Structure 1
Amino acid sequence: MARLDRLAPVKEVAQIGACIGREFDHELLAAVVSMPGGELAAALDRLVAAELVFRRGLAPAATYIFKHALVRDAAYESLLKRRRQELHARIATSIEALFPQLVEAQPELVARHFGEAGLAEKAIPYWLRAGRLAAARSANMEAIAHLRSGLECTQALPPGASRSRFELALQLGLGGPLIATKGFASREAEVAFQRAQELSRELRSEADLSAALKGLGHVYHVRANLREVTSLVEETETLAKRSGDPVRQAEADHLAGVLSFHLGQFQFSRDRLERSAQAGEYRGRYYSEVYGIDMSVFCRAYMSHCDWHLGYPVRSLGIAEKGLAVAREISHPFSIALALNYLAMLYQFRQEPDAALKAAAESRDICAEYRFDYYGAWASLVRAWAIAESGRLEEGLADFDAGLEDFRRTSAGLRIPHHLGLLAALHRKAGNAMAGLRVVDEAIAIADASLETWCAVELHQERGELLLLAVGKQAENQADAEFEAAINIAAAQGAKLPGLRASIARARLQASRGMRREARDALMPIYSLFSEGLETHDLVEARKVLADL
């Protein structure tokens, strides 16, 4: 500070530069400083000569940086608070008026200066723009910081509709980045969407209420609180119908579609998701702000899983690959991670471990880079399954246990029964029948309690397989009952491929008991339902069994 004091005539220039930041450029400084150009140039020359700042380039394109952060801080703190606020206000309005490209690319700069000026009402819109911009390029931690800065600014406003509208936009903006970094089931995302719900009801904004309810729906959905999601779906559908807005109807269709998939209503789910994908124009607000995902990619991901269960293994793969292609086309990392995870799980359904491993490995790399904890844990589980199925059973089991812990740490409950079913199957293949039974019994209990019945067929089939391994012939009647239960559930759900698997398992058991004709008569009609994918794993297995009967 003493060195600055000795340069009293140029001290003001250093102070204004300090208000701009550790680094400042000549053009902006000239717009703020109240002195002729020649005097400003001379003052800057003296600061450079005194080695208080370094200069890069030539005026007016020159930029300056304080030699030490302490020098900048000393110059800044030497200003009275009122004078600092005046300078920050002048800097913000100068950027607005003279540097539109800077405003467009870095709205957080304007936000910071208006905030330091004590002009919260002017700062908040820029924090919101900065948060949305960062979220759109998957800079989610940056987006969260900007949006929370905006929320801090709202505390300086008097209570009222204006403050509530600002807070509502910021809370909705937080949803997507929090989902991406903390997981769909995170408490932080829930708090943001809950507050947005309260504010939208207070302001009677049904459009924002629909967005908040859908955000909450995804939180509760991934927590496997499907009863709560059901009530949210009903309200979002009521709001969508009342609005007559096709985009809001598309969003309601999407939430209904993802819920109904996990309830085992595959055809209904697919119909709603297809309607959503066709009607929704998602590349705007809801693409990056509320959910952080391209919703057309999300729709295709679920549609592919519906199609596999409904008995269309070729069509399902085509839809999953199309979703991934769209995600890559828009270069949106969170959407790419989502699409890769659903594709990896589809390969797991298809019993293709090499392809599953490749997709899961790419997703894990993206998730590690961008801190997508939920999808990273999910990808780790598929990867562990693929490793085990590729012959490294012990390694795969260890990795699966670790992945399951990571997955549960995200507060996710959805798909836990399915993952436990995979773990039970790996225990069976390792000869650990009793361990597998304990795991599958836990999975069935969780699925029954949560209503997540989409994987009920595989769970009952796996229980039958484990009973045969654990007890042998004495458990044949129990195993047959499990296979029959699986087949009946599949029929009720229209789940042709899971039903085919359960039918193959039952046919093998019946053949071992001398009931070859009954086995063939039961399996052949189910196999005959398929019109595509005849060279996929399950249909090849069905033909082998039929040939032996």
Structure 2
Amino acid sequence: MERALLTVEDAEVLNHPLTLSIALVWAISVFLWVGDLARAEEHIDRLFSRAEFHSLGPYLALGRGFKGELAIRRGNASSGVESLRSCLAELHAAPYELLTTPLNISFVQGLAATGRSAEALSLIEETIQQVETSGDLCYMAELLRVKGNLVLAAPQAGTDEEAELCFRRSLELSDRQGARAWELRSAIDLAFLLAARGRHDAAQALLQPIFARFGEGLETADLQSAARLLATPN
């Protein structure tokens, strides 16, 4: 978060609108990631004003997409889904594909939150295939984690096993990439699944060493979720 803010400050000094827009995009991504929605909204508004004033079309679309993700996080999934649908259509038409994968993830989560689980699962499968084809593998661990949760929510038999496979594949990939934040999220979801099956010791053994690697940011959403799970009595 500190690095993101410093990058925005440095970009402002340069007085180069495109560079500042890029810095704001990544700062917004960081704030959404850690759950600081108020600061994310502040930077989304700054992105809108800069992009609109300098006619930076793709960045206006990104701003709408971030607004959509913010709406979903705040419980207004229907509005968020429509914002993301519009944003992604504009980015595909531009074409500007740099952030379409993480925006697709938000879109999927919004669809699931509005009860369109089949559409959400279809989109996550499509996005996974696109990532495998394009080599945009930095998002694969999160795609697998989100797929695991969608599968887990389905009413069919055997979903627990398929979801666990998704979570374990996500863990393996994030560990191989050194992506500790992706790894933490997948470990939390798998630990919840194990605990729900009564395998509390296995859940604790999985999550504790991953949680222990983090020496800062303990007030952020994912680490708080992990701490609550670890503190839950068997």
The normalised TM-score by structure 1 is: 0.41
User: How many Å separate the matches in 2 of 1:452 and 1:519?
Assistant: 30
Matched residue, 1:330: 14
The reply on whether 1:341 has 2:59 as its aligned counterpart is no
The 8 Å contact of residues 464 and 483 in structure 1, kept in 2 or not, is answered as yes
Residue 545 (1) aligns with residue 223 (2) = no
Partner of 1:382: 66
Contact 1:361–1:383 under 8 Å retained in 2? no
CA contact (8 A) 1:354 1:390 kept: no
**Shift of the alpha carbon at 1:458?**
0.8
Task: Kindly report structure 1 stretches of 4+ aligned residues shifted beyond 4 Å.
Answer: none
The offset of 1:482, in angstroms, is: 0.1
State the distance in 2 between where 1:462 and 1:471 align.
17
What are the Cα deviations for residues 122-155 of structure 1, in whole angstroms up to 9, with x where unaligned? xxxxxxxxxxxxxxxxxxxxxxxxxxxxxxxxxx
2:146 matched to which residue of 1? Answer: 462
Residue of structure 2 aligned with 1:422, choices 106, 121, 133: 106
**Corresponding residue for 1:172?**
none
Q: CA deviation at 1:359?
A: 1.0
Q: Which residue matches 1:393?
A: 77
Percent same amino acid at aligned positions? 22
Q: Indicate the residue corresponding to 2:118 in structure 1.
A: 434
- Cα distance in 2 for partners of 1:492, 1:383 equals 32
Structure 2 counterpart of 1:450, from 134, 144, 149:
134
Change in Cα spacing, 1:522 to 1:422, as seen in structure 2 (3 Å) is same
Amino acid at match of 2:223: L
Larger Rg, first or second structure (1 or 2): 1
Match for 1:488 among 172, 177, 202?
Answer: 172
Given that 1:353 and 1:387 are in contact with CA atoms closer than 8 Å, whether structure 2 keeps it comes out as no
What is the Cα deviation at residue 333 of structure 1?
1.9
The alpha carbon displacement at 1:452 in A equals 0.2
Q: Does 1:406 align with 2:100?
A: no
Rounded Cα–Cα distance in structure 2 between residues aligned with 1:358 and 1:391: 19
Q: Distance in 2 between matches of 1:355 and 1:487?
A: 29
Q: What amino acid is the match of 1:359?
A: H
Residue of structure 2 in register with 1:44 after alignment: none
Uncovered stretches (5+) of structure 1, i.e. residues with no partner: 1-316
Distance 2:80 2:100 in 1: 17
* Residue in structure 1 matched with residue 186 of structure 2 by the alignment: 502
Partner of 1:511: 195
Alignment-derived partner of residue 53 in structure 2? 369
| Structure 1 pair 510–473 and aligned structure 2 pair: CA distance change class (3 A) | farther
* Aligned length, in residue pairs: 233
Question: What is the deviation of 1:327?
Answer: 1.5
Equivalent residues of 2:78, 2:110 under 8 A apart:
no
How far apart are residue 465 of structure 1 and its match? Answer: 0.2
- Three-state SS of the structure 1 residue aligned to 2:86 is helix
The one-letter amino acid paired with 1:396 is: G
Superposition deviation, residue 357 in structure 1: 2.0
| Alignment partners' CA distance in 1, 2:209 and 2:189 | 15
Residue pair 1:354, 1:386 contacting (<8 A) in 2 also: no
In 2, Cα distance between equivalents of 1:481 and 1:493: 18
Aligned-pair Cα RMSD in Å: 1.4
CA distance, structure 2, for counterparts of residue 327 and residue 417 of structure 1:
25
Q: SS at 1:471's partner residue?
A: coil
Cα drift, residue 352 of structure 1: 2.7
1:264-310: CA deviation from partner (whole Å, max 9, x where unpaired): xxxxxxxxxxxxxxxxxxxxxxxxxxxxxxxxxxxxxxxxxxxxxxx
Q: Which has the higher contact order (CA 8 A, sep 6+)?
A: 2
* Alignment partners' CA distance in 2, 1:539 and 1:347: 14
1:236-385 aligned within 5 A: 317-385=1-69
